[in-house]
A and B are shown apart, each in its own frame.
Chain A
Amino acid sequence: MNTEIYIVTGVVLFVLGVIGFLSRRSALIALMSLELMLNGTNLCLISFSRFHGNSEGGSLFLLIVLVAAAEAALALSILVSLYRTSGSVDLDDFRLLKG
């Protein structure tokens, strides 16, 4: 069993997501990086669960996919309404709470 390669891939995808979330200024790319992070987490979860011969990881995987789908739909609709009001999706432009 070569579990390590899957774990390494999951960790690399998660780190790529973190880098993208912190470095890109477009809100759309930040959301995509969020999905990338969840993807890496799922890969690690399934691989560890397989390694231990335990099927509970599959159930948690389903729950995470559900939460990711709900989060994507809601965040993207917020993004569209932000774009309608301010005309940009740049994270540096949103300073409504700063006063």
Chain B
Amino acid sequence: MQILTYVLVALSIMSGLGVILSRSAVVSAMSLMVTMFLTGLLYFSQGSYFPAVVQILIYAGAISVLFIFIVMLLDLKPSRVLIPSRKIVVFFAVLAGLFFAFSLMFLILPGVSRSSLVGELMSSEGDVGLFNAKSISLNLLTKYMLPFQATTLLLLAAMMGAILIGRAGRKKED
């Protein structure tokens, strides 16, 4: 358990270094995605499951995908964008296939899922009662009512602002 946490910490710091050190923006965006995902796993290993799920869904799922879209949309200087060679692509494809087979093993083989890695990742000391949806939403609807309502205005303003900025840029071109 302890070793797994240390490995996750080392990997997340390394991928965080990858965000700020890599030359190509694509690699930075991918490293950002990996960092978000590993931070979500750190929440899991800590025993706070609800923040872990939110982190993986919103950060690793939505925000970093938005960054990758923008990187592809912007068409940065071709000298800076790293085009991966065939060997690297094959290597990562094999890696992803192995990972998929490994995680499929938990579903197919009986008894494996109970005993090993998943149970180890979910620490026994983590109490589910601390960060569950009920306590968080109770906080949001009583003590933090005003900030919670303010975020609705913020989201509305952000949405309208993004639409307006996108339209204004297009109108100028025509």
Stretch at the interface among B45-53, B81-89, B100-108, B111-119: B45-53
B76: chain A residues at CB < 8 Å are 28, 89
Contact B51 A61 (CB under 8 A): yes
Query: Pick the contact of B28 from A29, A39, A57, A85 — CB < 8 Å?
Result: A29
Could you tell me the distance between the alpha carbons of A76 and B172 in the complex, rounded to whole angstroms?
19
Further 12 A-B residue pairs, CB within 8 A, beyond A16-B16, A39-B36, A73-B158: A6-B42, A13-B12, A24-B20, A35-B59, A35-B64, A43-B43, A58-B48, A58-B135, A58-B139, A68-B59, A76-B70, A77-B161
Query: Pick the contact of B42 from A43, A63, A65 — CB < 8 Å?
Result: A43
Q: How many A-B residue pairs have CB under 8 A?
A: 175
Interface size on B, residues (CB 8 A): 62
A58: chain B residues at CB < 8 Å are 48, 50-51, 130-131, 135-136, 139
Query: Pick the contact of B58 from A16, A69, A78 — CB < 8 Å?
Result: A69
Q: B74 to chain A: closest CB distance in Å?
A: 5
Query: Pick the contact of A55 from B9, B125, B130, B169 — CB < 8 Å?
Result: B130
Give A residues with C-beta under 8 Å from B: 1-2, 5-6, 8-9, 12-13, 16-17, 19-20, 23-24, 26, 28-29, 31-33, 35-36, 39, 42-43, 46-47, 49-50, 53, 55-63, 65-74, 76-81, 83-85, 89
